Structure 1
Amino acid sequence: MARKDIFKFLEALNENNSKEWMDKNRSWYESAKGEVIDLFDPILESIKEVDPRIIQPNARKSISRINNNLMFHPDRPTYKDHFGVVFGYGRGLADFYVGLGLREIDVAGGLWHPDSEKLKKVRQEIDYEGKRLTEIIKSSAFQDTFELYKADALKTTPKGYAKDHEFIELLRLKSLAAFRQITRKDVYSNGFKDMIVESYMTLVPMLDFINTAITDE
């Protein structure tokens, strides 16, 4: 199965993570990347039919670089152990992500580690419209599929907000994002496309909430 070749390549890369190995196996990398493109092109097409705001013209333009940024993270290996695919509405906005990795296969969306100005705007939106966000994340579709990313949440109270604020748990978040983990079996299944499209549609209300916060003056 072609989809299995994606993970076979990643396994080999993980065992031989060097530029020398990659240079020798560049055609294999391009073949595995091509399988990712073939997998996601129809998914992106279906998503764009229901949400034409997506700016990526095709899956090739949606794949993240497999090189790690060693300038800022010199301790990391030369290459990532996953293929990342990102769909979104523009640079700097909340977006949708699928990561096909060796250790984890993630479907996620939101705003990851925003700068202080964006985080301030998101918190203001939560302060004013927290009830709407609560309704989004407590919907049955969201609850059955996703969970909020809370790993880096503040343990204290963000400046300017009362510790007994109605939405204090949301205000403590430093990233407003949600994720679900799936399996290789899901990727190999005939239902993978529908799973990703449905996941995207479930996250759209949260993405819209975030993007309204960071783009409105």
Structure 2
Amino acid sequence: MEAVCISKTTLKFLKTLKQNNNREWFEQHKPEFKVEQALCKNFFGQVLLKLKSHDDIIDLKVFRIYRDVRFSHDKTPYKTHIACSFKRAKPNLRGGYYLHIEPGNSFLACGFWAPEKKDINRVRKEFEVDALELREIIDASDFKLHFGQLKGDELKTAPRGFDKTHRNIDLIRKKQWIVTKEFTDSQVLAESFLTEIDGAFQSIRPFFDYMSEVLTTDLNGESLL
């Protein structure tokens, strides 16, 4: 069976779009875009099949190429990447997967990039009590191999009601809990890219399992579902 890969023509089209990011050019080359979009959707579908073999995924969303420029200083009308996300089955499972294809800037991301305020507070309360299990997860060799470290926006100081000298203040300050893995263009075009993505997605599961348990229970361990 022939391997499903990202096409060289997709990266070439996105590079050219970046140099010609205007409506007139795009309308003239829209048929080409449709071809490249379909190729990416096919690849994303294969990622979904891999994910479904080890996680409960309920939705694949391919993002539109059109930028929302209403509140942006950058008025270029089109994104210069093609991306998608994979949604886990809530409320039991938390966290999400994201895949971004862009010449010179391709990456995947996993985690919690727009958590609700109540979820942020619940996680912070958990870290206030104990974060040893999480630290063991993010210090594991497989986690570090794929992602390096836990990332995400954070406060400059302790959130209201938390001790700024707390031993877990580095985790408590966070407003997001995200990991990323970057890829070169050569890696993106390689036959092994699909396997690389799935390996990274599998390696995030201990983190997702931990966070899902925290977000579906109270501090006494009683289910909130």
Same fold (TM over 0.5): yes
Provide the residue aligned with 1:34 in structure 2.
38
Q: 2:131 is paired with a residue of what secondary structure?
A: helix
Unaligned runs of 5+ in 2: 218-223
Provide the residue aligned with 2:69 in structure 1.
70
How far apart, CA to CA, are the structure 2 residues paired with 1:210 and 1:79? 35
Larger radius of gyration: 2
Q: 2:175 is paired with a residue of what secondary structure?
A: coil
Deviations 1:108-157 (A, max 9, x none): 1111143433322221233345222111111111011102224x322211
Taking only aligned residues, the RMSD between alpha carbons, in angstroms, comes to 2.3
1:49 aligns with 2:48: no
Provide the residue aligned with 2:109 in structure 1.
108
Provide the residue aligned with 2:143 in structure 1.
142
User: Structure 1 or 2: larger helix share?
Assistant: 1
How far apart, CA to CA, are the structure 2 residues paired with 1:202 and 1:65? 28
Q: 1:110 is paired with a residue of what secondary structure?
A: strand
Q: Is contact 1:109-1:207 (8 Å) kept?
A: no
Tell me the TM-score normalized by structure 1: 0.86
How far apart, CA to CA, are the structure 2 residues paired with 1:174 and 1:2? 33
Measured after TM superposition, the shift of residue 197 of structure 1 is 0.6
Report which stretch shifted further, 134-143 or 41-50. Answer: 41-50
Q: Is contact 2:104-2:185 (8 Å) kept?
A: no
Q: 1:174 is paired with a residue of what secondary structure?
A: coil
* Aligned AA (2:57): I
Report which stretch shifted further, 30-39 or 70-79. Answer: 70-79
Aligned residue-pair number: 211
Provide the residue aligned with 2:12 in structure 1.
8
1:195 aligns with 2:196: yes
How far apart, CA to CA, are the structure 2 residues paired with 1:19 and 1:215? 46
Change (3 A) 1:20 1:182: same
Change (3 A) 1:76 1:130: farther
Change (3 A) 1:23 1:43: same
Change (3 A) 1:125 1:25: farther
How far apart, CA to CA, are the structure 2 residues paired with 1:140 and 1:197? 17
How far apart, CA to CA, are the structure 2 residues paired with 1:190 and 1:44? 17
The percent of aligned pairs where both chains have the same amino acid is: 27
Q: 1:145 is paired with a residue of what secondary structure?
A: helix
Unaligned runs of 5+ in 1: none
Measured after TM superposition, the shift of residue 54 of structure 1 is 0.4
Provide the residue aligned with 2:220 in structure 1.
none
> Which stretches of structure 1, 4 residues or more, deviate above 6 A after TM superposition?
none
Q: Is contact 1:111-1:210 (8 Å) kept?
A: no
1:96 aligns with 2:97: yes
Deviations 1:92-117 (A, max 9, x none): 95201111113411111111143433
Measured after TM superposition, the shift of residue 215 of structure 1 is 4.6
Tell me the TM-score normalized by structure 2: 0.84
How far apart, CA to CA, are the structure 2 residues paired with 1:185 and 1:197? 17
How far apart, CA to CA, are the structure 2 residues paired with 1:80 and 1:105? 13
How far apart, CA to CA, are the structure 1 residues paired with 2:74 and 2:6? 33
